[in-house]
Amino acid sequence: METMSLEVRLFAVARELADCERLSINLPADSTVADLREQLLEQVPGLAPLAQQLVFAVDEQYTSDDTVLQPGVDVACIPPVSGG
């Protein structure tokens, strides 16, 4: 089975919980954003409370869970934003 490795940039509280700015995630070829979310939560269990609120951007475009990922894309994980 072919696999791909993606660099995922983390922002705000996601970065704090993971204690890093980037994570390398290995996935089977033709994986979706939903697969990426699942693998990210396995690597960083502390993100579980935010799991359904995390938004992903692929090549600077917000995307849905059914988006198929390609090798070499730029992926960002963006947690919910609060402020005032």
Average model confidence (pLDDT) for the chain? 94
What's the structural domain count of the chain?
A: 1
Domain containing residue 59:
3-78
- Average pLDDT for residues 21-41, to the nearest whole number? 97
Q: What is the pLDDT of residue 54?
A: 95
Beta bridge partners of 26: 5
3-class secondary structure, 26: strand
* Confidence (pTM): 0.92
**CATH number of the domain residue 24 falls in:** 3.10.20.30
Q: Quickly count: other Cβ atoms within 10 Å of residue 12's Cβ.
A: 13
- The verdict on residue 83 lying in a domain is no
User: Does residue 84 lie in a domain region?
Assistant: no
Summarised one tens digit per residue, pLDDT across range 65-77 is: 999 999 999 999 9
